[in-house]
Structure formats: structure tokens, C-alpha cells
Chain A
Amino acid sequence: MGGASEAVARVGEEPDVVTGESAPAARAPAGQASAGWKVLPIVEGLVLLIALVLPWVLQDYLTVFATRVVILALFALSFDLVWGYAGIMSFGQALFFGAAGYGVALMARDLNVTSILLILPAGTLIGLTAALLLGGFLLLGRYPSSVIFVSLGTLTGSYAADRLARGWYYLGGQNGIPSIPPLTLGSYEFEEGPVYYYMVLGILVVVYLLCRFLVRSQFGLALAGLRENEQRIAFFGYKAQHLKAIIFAVGGTIAGLAGSLYAFHEGFVWPNMLGVVFSTQVVLYVLFGGSGTLIGAVIGTVIIEGVSFWLSDNYRDVWPIILGVLLLLVIMFRPLGLISFVLGERERVGSFGKGPKASKEAGNAAP
């Protein structure tokens, strides 16, 4: 075996010598950047740039729509972290999103609390607590849980919460909680529009950068190992279940933050926010854009929401069918999502931490 692979390697090297410079480019798969030229920062920069100028070019009602998309992108990020990086299929991510939404809506309705300085921490905390409880129950324990159990367990949790919200008079039943007052900071009120947009975008960028740091750290490396081969990571001495519970809680925290922003932006919360509808929606975003890349989750959200907004006037009935077909095609033929058209495998996997190896590679790549 060893001899054969060496031979292959040697054959692979030969064209370099013969044809010179054109060979490396030819050998690199589509979109795989040659040394020193990375696609990911460019994509990220472009998305940020577009997001920054949007309110100037869009009409006001479209800015409101864009704000919603940015919040949903934050939500998608939370799912991507859990599924794309740690391989935990959370089919009930909306549970944390909706629980935080309901929680802050109740704070606003019953306690008259609308200050952003209280609401966002509270929503985040609700998401964290819910995720710790559910994740702790589903993931921890003497025996490791099967992936099927975790995915169906989260799905069931979210479905049960949906049914509870629908039937509970205190939570408004089918109609949810309407007319939530605007978010405030001192005497200033965050109305829908550019200010809310930039506030949300700022939060998204901060969370995105934190996530980016997290998944590229040594912890992220352990997570990636978990996703690829859980048993091997366990043999290395990692507490695989603890790692999973931690990242699940982080995901829930971000979902909670997104949920509280969403509740105040829309001005109402309703049972779908907790249930299967939003849970599967966020799965669609991430799979579509590309799981395992943070920017893929953002792009997937923007594309799906954008196209459905655009089509909803004329093709309202057909759009869900098209969405299903596209999703099926992506799952079958592009399991890494749309982002894989421009992003090569090597860059998606990336490098982790700041080991001595990384700097040496950078040095070698120079010629």
C-alpha cells in the first residue's frame, strides 16, 4: 500500500517539473485557491460590503426585510455551529430561538421591560439555559447518545414546545403575543429601519467573528475531529459528550440572541417560531449555503429568503415545491452547499490554532 501511494505521489509531481507553472493551477480543483490566495476572506468581505451599503440603495420596506434576513442569518449561524462543525443534528434549533422570543415578549408585556441592555442578555440567557437543559439531557449520560436519538429528540422537543405554546392561554395560544413595544436604549426607541438594521448587522458581525475564532481554535479542531470520527476523538482522551454539550449550548445562546432580536423586530411572537417550521427552515438555509463554513450559513439565508421574497408575489404556490427540489438536488449532488462552487475543500477544512506548522507552511508557500 505504502509503495503504491508513493508511486502515485511521484507521478503526481512529475508534471510540475515538465510543464512548469501551469501545472499547479491545472491540478487544483475548481475554486481551490493556490497558495497565499484565499477565497474565504474575499467572500466574507464582499458579503459584509454589500450588507453595509444595502440601506442606502434599498427602499425602506426592503430595509425592514433585510433586517429580518440578517437576524435569521444569526439564527442560521447557530445551527451551522452545531451541525456543520460538531456534527450534532439539531432538528429543534427553533426551540431556543422561540423560547427566547417568547421570554422577552413576556418581559415586555408583563414587566414593561424593553431596554436593550436587559432584553438581549435575558434572551441570550434563556437560549443558553434551554440549550444546556435539553443538550445536557440528550447528550450527556453514561452511554453516548446515537445521532438519530439526538436529532429526533431535538425535533420532538421543538414540536412539543410548539404544541404547548399553541394550547397555553398565558402564551396567547395560536395567535402568540402581539404588539410588542419597540426596543429601547434610555429614551431612544429602535424602530424598524436603518438603525435597527445596523444594530443587528453589528451584532451579527461580532458574533460571526467570535464564531470564526472559536472554530479555528484548538477547540474547533477537536470539534472537527468529533464530526469526522467521534470514536477516535474519544480514544484521544477528549470527553466527546462534554464537547458536544458545550457547542450545543453555544449554539442555543446564539439562537436565543437571534430570537429576542426577531421578536422585537417583528413586534410579535407566534408558535411557529418555536416549532418544526422554523427548525426545518434553518436547516434549509445552512444546507443550501454550505454547512461547515460560517459564511455559507449567511449566504444560504440571504439567497433562500431573498428568492422567496422575490417570488412570493407571483409564484407563491410553486415556490415551496421549487425549494424542495433545489434542496434535494443540493443534498444529492452538492452536499457541501452552494459555497462549494467557489470554495475549495482544503480551504473549507482550513488550519487550526497558531501552531508552528502553520507558519512554516506559509513560509514554504512563498516561492
Chain B
Amino acid sequence: MASTFAAVFEIVSFGAIIVLVVLGLGIIASMMGIFNFAQGEFVLLGAYVTYLAYAHGAPVWAGMVAAPFVVGALGFVLEALIIRRFYAAPIVAMLGTYALGLIIRESVRGLIGGFYLTVPEPIGGSIDLGSVHISAWRFTIIVITLLVMGACYLLLARTSFGLRVRATLENPALARASGISTPLIYGATFAFGAALAGLAGALIVPVFSLFADLGIRFLIQGFVAVMVGGVGSFIGPVAGAGLIGTLSAALPWVMSPVVADVLVFVLAIAFIKFRPQGLIAGKGV
């Protein structure tokens, strides 16, 4: 019983991490139609900002608060300078953001070298539930993921900013005619997606430690999750991320990890092939 509970906690906490990473990816893909290959590097940057704050003597949580703002600001600048040119051509956007990601990743690699740098958990220790001990920080990640998810949903569904974003997604020409500044909305959406990635990176760095290829391992998983969930809505990618995250954490418990690893991707691609619209079809929130 105790070990089952530990396994479930493990699976849920990994699922939460994937959801957190995919949230930004999904918002950018759904709202802007761009599959951002640099998203993994935004995660990396968030982790790096947290590490920098820690290395300069600031408390870790301060770095975690700063990370989304720093990465979001960078995202806003990059959108205005570079990403904006790619909206008409999704494939070119992939290549362009790939190049961007390459630049960011290799710059960070140059800065930190080939090391694995550890950052301590701001909330250490474990929570004891009878005979089971679960990591307090991983539990915090689950809670924060739920909060962020709820906040994103409310932002997109209940605020006037969310309405503008959705209007821009639905019909850019009409949105412009109605007086919505679509370039500004695109910029803000991209910055928001980047900030979420930065937050994800900041939160997971105590778990995975900081290394240059941190982002890559999540990128492809994230893409697959977005496709499985369905591009075009907010809920779709989140649902896809939950499914993929849970599946890739759960399958290794019942079969060899190597087979499980590959099986998740094969299943996902097959699923997308036969249901291209994804788990949750349709646009909007």
C-alpha cells in the first residue's frame, strides 16, 4: 500500500512537471500557431536565472520569482525582433526558433561549462504521511502547477485580456478591425508563454539540477503532448501533457524503461495519426 502510494505520488509529480513545461508551449502553439523549438531553452534560462541568484547569495526562492519575469521579458524582445517575421510560415518558424534555441543553449553551455550544477530546494525535507515520506518540494511543485493552471485558465477565459487574445486567435483581421492591437497581443502571448517556461525551469532545477541539455529532454515530450492534446485550445495541451506525463512516468513501473520510453512516443504518434484534432478538438479556452 505504502509503495503504491509512493509510486502514484512519483507519477503525479512527474506529470505535474510535464504539464508545467507544456503549458507555455501549448499557449504559444495554440494561440499563435508556432511550434517554438526554443521553448526548451526558455526552461533552461529559467533554471539558469535561479542558479545565478543562488550563486550570488540571494535566496533560491527570490531567483524563482525573478526567473519568469526575466525570461518573459526576453521572450517579448525576441518576438518583436525575430519571431514576428515567421508567422506566415510555420515550418520556417520551427527552423528559426530552433536556431534561437541553439544560440541560447550554447551560450548557457559556454557560461556553465559541461557541469551539472545543483540548486538546493527552497522548501526542503519531506512530508510524512504515516509510513510514507514524500518530498516536500515535489509536493509544492504539484500545488504550484495546479495554481498556475487555474490562473492561466482564468486569465484566458475571464479577463478582457484573455478575450482579446482569443479574438486575435480566432480572426486576426476582425480583431484588428475592432481596434485590438494584434502585434501587441502576439508579443504579450509569446512573452507569457516564455515566462511560463521560465517558471517551469526555475521550479524543476532543484529536482533535475542545471545542465545545458536540460531543455531538450522536455521539448520533444512537450511537442508530442501538445499534438496529442490538440492544438487550438488551452485545455487541449494541458490534457495532453497530463496524459503523456503520467504515461511516461507510469509505464516504467510495469515494463522495461527502454521499451516504455519508446512506446510512449509510438503510441502518441499513432494516436495523432488517427485523431489529428487531438484529445480535445476546437478552438477557444
Tell me the residues in window 49-106 of chain B with beta carbons closer than 8 Å to chain A beta carbons: 82, 85, 90-92, 94-96, 98-100, 102-103, 106
Please, which residue of chain A has its CB at the minimum distance from the CB of B231? Answer: A148
Q: List 17 A-B contacts (CB under 8 A).
A: A138-B273, A151-B94, A156-B268, A160-B262, A160-B266, A164-B261, A164-B262, A276-B216, A317-B109, A321-B110, A324-B99, A324-B102, A324-B106, A328-B96, A328-B99, A331-B96, A335-B92
Report B's interface with A, CB cutoff 8 A. 35, 82, 85, 90-92, 94-96, 98-100, 102-103, 106-107, 109-110, 216, 220, 223-224, 227, 231, 257-258, 261-262, 265-266, 268-269, 272-273, 276
Tell me the residues in window 311-337 of chain A with beta carbons closer than 8 Å to chain B beta carbons: 317-318, 320-321, 323-325, 327-328, 331-332, 335
Distance, CA A159 to CA B261, complexed state (A): 10
Q: How far is the CB of A238 from chain B (nearest CB, A)?
A: 21
Interface size on A, residues (CB 8 A): 39
Chain A residues within an 8 Å CB radius of B98: 280, 283
Closest A-B pairs by Cβ, 10 of them:
A167-B258, A324-B102, A324-B103, A320-B106, A328-B99, A160-B265, A327-B99, A321-B106, A160-B262, A317-B110
Distance, CA A143 to CA B274, complexed state (A): 9
Interface string of A126-164 (1 = CB under 8 A from B): 000000000001100101011111011101110110011
Judging by beta carbons under 8 Å apart, are B99 and A148 in contact?
no
Distance, CA A26 to CA B180, complexed state (A): 45
Judging by beta carbons under 8 Å apart, are B99 and A318 in contact?
no
Judging by beta carbons under 8 Å apart, are B103 and A325 in contact?
yes
Q: How far is the CB of A20 from chain B (nearest CB, A)?
A: 41
Please, which residue of chain B has its CB at the minimum distance from the CB of A283? Answer: B95
Chain A residues within an 8 Å CB radius of B91: 89, 147-148, 151
Judging by beta carbons under 8 Å apart, are A331 and B220 in contact?
no
Given contacts A141-B273, A149-B276, contact A155 B223 (CB under 8 A): yes
Judging by beta carbons under 8 Å apart, are B90 and A148 in contact?
yes
Q: Does A287 contact B (CB under 8 A)?
A: yes
Chain A residues within an 8 Å CB radius of B96: 328, 331-332
Q: How far is the CB of B160 from chain A (nearest CB, A)?
A: 31
Judging by beta carbons under 8 Å apart, are A318 and B82 in contact?
no
Q: Does A310 contact B (CB under 8 A)?
A: no
Report A's interface with B, CB cutoff 8 A. 89, 91, 137-138, 141, 143, 145-149, 151-153, 155-157, 159-160, 163-164, 167-168, 276, 280, 283, 287, 317-318, 320-321, 323-325, 327-328, 331-332, 335
Chain A residues within an 8 Å CB radius of B100: 324, 328
Q: How far is the CB of B266 from chain A (nearest CB, A)?
A: 7
Given contacts A153-B272, A157-B269, contact A331 B261 (CB under 8 A): no
Q: How far is the CB of A91 from chain B (nearest CB, A)?
A: 8
Please, which residue of chain A has its CB at the minimum distance from the CB of B35? Answer: A148
Distance, CA A145 to CA B96, complexed state (A): 22
Chain B residues within an 8 Å CB radius of A148: 35, 90-91, 227, 231
Distance, CA A145 to CA B118, complexed state (A): 43
Number of residue pairs spanning A and B whose beta carbons lie under 8 angstroms apart = 99
Chain B residues within an 8 Å CB radius of A320: 102, 106, 109
Chain B residues within an 8 Å CB radius of A317: 106, 109-110
Judging by beta carbons under 8 Å apart, are A327 and B110 in contact?
no
Judging by beta carbons under 8 Å apart, are A137 and B273 in contact?
yes
Q: How far is the CB of A270 from chain B (nearest CB, A)?
A: 16
Judging by beta carbons under 8 Å apart, are A328 and B82 in contact?
yes
Chain A residues within an 8 Å CB radius of B266: 160
Judging by beta carbons under 8 Å apart, are A328 and B90 in contact?
no
Q: How far is the CB of B41 from chain A (nearest CB, A)?
A: 10
Judging by beta carbons under 8 Å apart, are B269 and A156 in contact?
yes
Q: How far is the CB of B111 from chain A (nearest CB, A)?
A: 10
Among A156, A283, A328, the residue within 8 A (CB) of B220 is: A156
Among A141, A147, A163, A324, the residue within 8 A (CB) of B258 is: A163
Judging by beta carbons under 8 Å apart, are B276 and A145 in contact?
yes
Chain B residues within an 8 Å CB radius of A276: 216, 220
Given contacts A156-B268, A317-B110, A320-B102, 8 further A-B contacts (CB under 8 A): A152-B227, A153-B272, A156-B220, A160-B266, A320-B106, A321-B102, A324-B99, A324-B106
Chain B residues within an 8 Å CB radius of A335: 92
Chain B residues within an 8 Å CB radius of A153: 269, 272-273
Given contacts A160-B266, A324-B106, contact A89 B82 (CB under 8 A): no
Q: How far is the CB of B237 from chain A (nearest CB, A)?
A: 13
Distance, CA A317 to CA B107, complexed state (A): 9
Distance, CA A141 to CA B274, complexed state (A): 9
Q: How far is the CB of A52 from chain B (nearest CB, A)?
A: 33
Q: How far is the CB of A311 from chain B (nearest CB, A)?
A: 13
Distance, CA A323 to CA B99, complexed state (A): 8
Please, which residue of chain A has its CB at the minimum distance from the CB of B227? Answer: A152
Distance, CA A317 to CA B257, complexed state (A): 34
Among B106, B223, B261, the residue within 8 A (CB) of A163 is: B261
Given contacts A148-B35, A167-B261, A331-B92, contact A156 B106 (CB under 8 A): no
Q: How far is the CB of B79 from chain A (nearest CB, A)?
A: 14
Question: In the complex, which of the residues A148, A283, A320, A321 has the most CB atoms of chain B within 10 Å of its own CB atom?
Answer: A148
Please, which residue of chain B has its CB at the minimum distance from the CB of A142? Answer: B274
